[in-house]
Structure 1
Amino acid sequence: MNTQTGATQTGATGKVALVTGAGSGVGRAAALALLAGGYRVVLAGRRVEPLQAVAQASAAGDRALVVPADVTDEQAVGHLFATCVQAFGRLDVLFNNAGCGAPGVLLEDLTLAQWQQVVDVNLTGMFLCVREAFRVMKAQSPRGGRIINNGSISAHAPRPNSIPYTATKHAVSGLTKSAALDGRKYDIAVGQIDIGNASSAMTARMHEGVPQANGELGVEPVMDVGVVGQSVLYMASLPPDANVLFHTVMATKMPYIGRG
């Protein structure tokens, strides 16, 4: 395992991926799947300890590079991608995963600070990473790469009292479409994975019951988060001339189709 030293990995093999929010949940599952698939992976997140734990769990040695970074900080994002290139020479895949939600309060009680925090992470942070990935991928040889944005079922249908999360995830869909179009000329494929009820700390409350559209609380089924990791690995491993623009993976019986 490497920490943020900038050491060159000239002997490493396999493609290079960068995962934001890699310390837990979906990001952790995706990072582990990519490492198991032979990728060299930059593990990015705000807290170094969870990232180090993922690197250790992977047993991938020098193929796992821990780089603490806050995606809302423009300079930190620039440094993150520069460190990736310095260490591994290029970037083939960005899993643009870092995200957060706001407390499930009534819309009229949501503060501007709570709204802004979600926008800063889920939308602005994702844009900053897309922009930096473009800069790297268009300049490298061979040119191009792949960006996978983490959308959500909430990019299609909201939950009660979720306006900042839902609004930003709808915006991510627009970001994905626009970046997919703009990336064509640089051989950059951009797609989105929309995840529903993957088992993680964020979905633990679903075992107790979460608000439904009819005002009741309902226990919702969840799926193994490892399934999401395999989905990301599949999307990442496509040949350059193929792209999954939108991929939905969800617990089979979760209330999405027919929600509300």
Structure 2
Amino acid sequence: MTVSGGVAVVTGAGSGIGRAVAHALLEAGYRVALAGRREDALRETAEGYADALVVPCDVTSPASVANLFDRVRDTWGRVDLLFNNAGIGAHGAVDEVSLEDWERVIATNLTGAFLCARHAVRIMKEQDPQGGRIINNGSIAAYAPRPASVAYTASKHAITGLTKSISLDGRPYNIACGQIDIGNAATDMTAAVEHGALQADGRIVPEKRFDVRHAASAVLYMASLPLDTNVLFLTITATTMPFIGRG
């Protein structure tokens, strides 16, 4: 696809990976809708960028997601890219995590991604030229969980199924869908792992992180491909992260 002038929606754009990806897209020539629950954080992301549209949004709310995509369509007339990034975690093994925390994680990480993808696909099918791309932020937890992360891990395994289904169902409409699985990008959310993270054998081990801008560059690469080409899954981690060989 032509990057310059394309329209992107980034959820969870107020911080971390979402902010880094939004900046990478804006600098590549996209017009970017910044979605997230904290308007002040979104405005910090948008500062200095004329083609950023701030849209406060709670992805767990169908009405809020509908408003997000209505705003984007009313402003720019189309959606070329959705980066489904909003996500949260909850500590706890299956017998420890509360039902409230379980439902909160699933509502944000899975149902929120579904709601955003549903609106994006509807617009992509109707617009001219037809088509677009969805990139879901999975996690290496979609393959190998950390201890005491049942809600987050289950949600990210489900994102893989969502990615495959959208990829398949989008084919007749020139809609591509892929997933990026990121391990230990340097954001506030991962700051603690440098001091020590619980391993499967019970040890607490410091883990390396990598510059979040490299994750953003990977998303930009996936987004910049023509719609007849798709990266279905891309994994990017700190080189020495204990992912391969966990256990």
TM-score between the two structures when normalised by the length of structure 1: 0.93
Q: Distance in 1 between matches of 2:227 and 2:139?
A: 24
Letter in 2 for 1:123: L
Runs of at least 5 residues in structure 2 that lack an aligned partner in the other structure: none
Q: Which residue of 2 aligns with 1:84?
A: 72
Check the 8 A contact 2:92/2:150 in 1, yes or no: no
Structure 2 counterparts to residues 208-227 of structure 1, below 5 A = 208-227=195-214
Structure 1 residues 219, 142: closer, same or farther in 2, change over 3 A? same
SS at match of 2:68: helix
Q: Which residue of 127, 136, 143 corresponds with 1:140?
A: 127
SS at match of 1:215: coil
Question: Are residues 1:236 and 2:223 paired?
Answer: yes
Letter in 2 for 1:154: A
Runs of at least 5 residues in structure 1 that lack an aligned partner in the other structure: 1-12
Aligned length: 244
Q: Distance in 2 between matches of 1:107 and 1:241?
A: 41
Letter in 2 for 1:48: E
Question: Are residues 1:191 and 2:182 paired?
Answer: no
Give the Å deviation of 1:180.
0.3
Q: Which residue of 2 aligns with 1:64?
A: 52
Check the 8 A contact 2:135/2:180 in 1, yes or no: yes
Give the Å deviation of 1:151.
0.3
Check the 8 A contact 2:22/2:32 in 1, yes or no: yes
Q: Distance in 1 between matches of 2:85 and 2:173?
A: 22
Q: Which residue of 98, 105, 120 corresponds with 2:86?
A: 98
Give the Å deviation of 1:105.
3.0
Question: Are residues 1:53 and 2:49 paired?
Answer: no
Deviations 1:88-140 (A, max 9, x none): 111100000000000x2343121100100000001111100111111110000
SS at match of 1:191: strand
Q: Distance in 1 between matches of 2:115 and 2:76?
A: 21
Q: Which residue of 2 aligns with 1:7?
A: none
Letter in 2 for 1:118: V
Q: Which residue of 2 aligns with 1:38?
A: 29
Q: Which residue of 1 aligns with 2:13?
A: 22
Check the 8 A contact 2:93/2:150 in 1, yes or no: no
Give the Å deviation of 1:250.
0.7
Q: Percent identity?
A: 58
Structure 2 counterparts to residues 166-185 of structure 1, below 5 A = 166-185=153-172
Letter in 2 for 1:74: P
Q: Distance in 2 between matches of 1:71 and 1:107?
A: 25
Structure 2 counterparts to residues 235-254 of structure 1, below 5 A = 235-254=222-241
